Amino acid sequence: MFKISYHMDKVLKKITNFLSYFFASGCFLSMFFLFFIIFTNSSKRYILGDSYEWGEELSIYISIYGIMFGIAWAYLQDRHVKFDILVRIMSKKYQLFFEYLTDCVSFVISVLFSYSGYMFMIKRGDVDASSLLTTSQWLSEITSIKYFLILGKLYPYYFSMCFGGFILAVSVLIRFLNRIFNQEVSTKEVF
C-alpha cells in the first residue's frame, strides 16, 4: 500500500468519477439506441410491412460499442467473472499482490487487444458496410457533407475493437492506481 497526497487523492477521485460517468453514458446511449432501433424496426415491419435495411446491422454495431463501454465500466467496479477461489484462500497480503498482478496482466492484454483491433480495422475497414452504404450516400447527398460516406465503410464499426481495448486499458490502469493507493471505487448509481 502506498500513501497518497491530498491533491493526488482528489485528482484520482476526479478521474475515476469522470471515467465512471463516461463509461456509464456510453452504456446508456448504446442501450437506448439499441432498444429504439430494434423496437421501431420490428414494429415498422409488423405494422407497415417493411423495415429499415440498416436496422439489423446498425444495432449490431451499436451493441459492440456498448459491450466495450460495459466491460471497461465493469472492470472499474471489479465486476468481471473470474475464478478467484485460490486467491481468496490466501492471506490479505498475497491477495493484494495477486490483485496488482491481475491488473498488470489485464493491462497488457487490453493494450494487445487494442493493437489487434487497430490492425483489424486497417486491414478490413475499407470494405463496404452493405446495408449502410445506401443510407450513408443518401445522408452525404442531402447534407453535402462527404464525411458521411465513411459510415458506408466498415472503418467506424471495426474501430470499436481498437477503441474498446484502449478504454479497457485506461480502466485497468485507473483501477490499479485506486488499488495501490487503497481508494474505493464507487459502485453507486452514476446519473
Partner 1 sequence: MSLVILIIFTCLGISVGFCILGALSYFMIVEPFPYQLSMVATQFFKGVASFPLLAIPMFILAGELMNESGITSRIIVFANLLVGRMKAGLALVNIWASVIFAGLSGSAIADTSALGRVFIPEMEKRGYPKDFAAAITAASSVIGPIIPPSIPVIIYALTVTGVSVPGLFMAGVVPGLLLAVALSIYVMVFKSHHETPQALNKNFKEIMNIIVQCAIPIGMPIFIVGSILFGIVTPTEAASFAVAYALVVGLFIFKELKFKSLPNIFARSMRDAAIIMFIIAAVAAANWLLNYNRIPNMITDFSLQYMNSKVMYLIFIIFIFFIVGLFLEGIAAMLVLVPILHPIGVSLGVDPTHLGIIIILNLMIGLITPPMGLCLFVADSIANVGIPRLAKQIFPLLLVELLVLVLITFVPDLSLFLPKLLGLLK
The answer to whether residue 167 forms part of the interface with partner 1 (CB under 8 A) is no
In whole angstroms, what is the distance from residue 149 CA to residue 136 CA? 5
Alpha carbon separation from 71 to 27, 130, 151, 170 (Å, rounded): 10, 28, 25, 12
* Total residues found in the chain within this entry: 191
Q: Cell numbers for 104, please give them.
A: 498488470
Which member of 158, 163, 173, 174 binds partner 1 (CB under 8 A)?
A: 158
Which residues is 128 bridged to in the sheet? 153
Question: Does 30 help bind partner 1 (rule: CB under 8 A)?
Answer: yes
132 near 104, Cβ under 8 Å? no
- Segment lying near partner 1 (by CB under 8 A), choices 6-14, 26-34, 133-141, 175-183: 26-34
161 lies in the site for partner 1, by CB under 8 A = yes
Work out whether 73 is an interface residue with partner 1 (CB under 8 A): yes
| x-marked contacts with partner 1 along 101-140 as a string, rule CB under 8 A | xx--xx-xxx-xx-xxx-xx--xx----------------
Residues in 74-103 at the binding interface with partner 1, rule: CB under 8 A = 74-75, 79-88, 98-99, 101-102
* Residue 128 phi, psi dihedral angles, 5° rounding: -70, 140
103 close to 172: Cβ distance less than 8 angstroms: yes
- If binding is defined by CB under 8 A, does position 66 make contact with partner 1? yes
Q: Rounded to whole angstroms, what are the CA distances from 189 to 77, 81, 185?
A: 12, 21, 12
Name which of 119 and 145 has its Cβ closer to partner 1: 119
List of residues contacting partner 1 (CB under 8 A): 23-25, 27-28, 30-32, 34-35, 38-39, 42, 56, 59-61, 63-64, 66-71, 73-75, 79-88, 98-99, 101-102, 105-106, 108-110, 112-113, 115-117, 119-120, 123-124, 158, 160-162, 165, 189-191
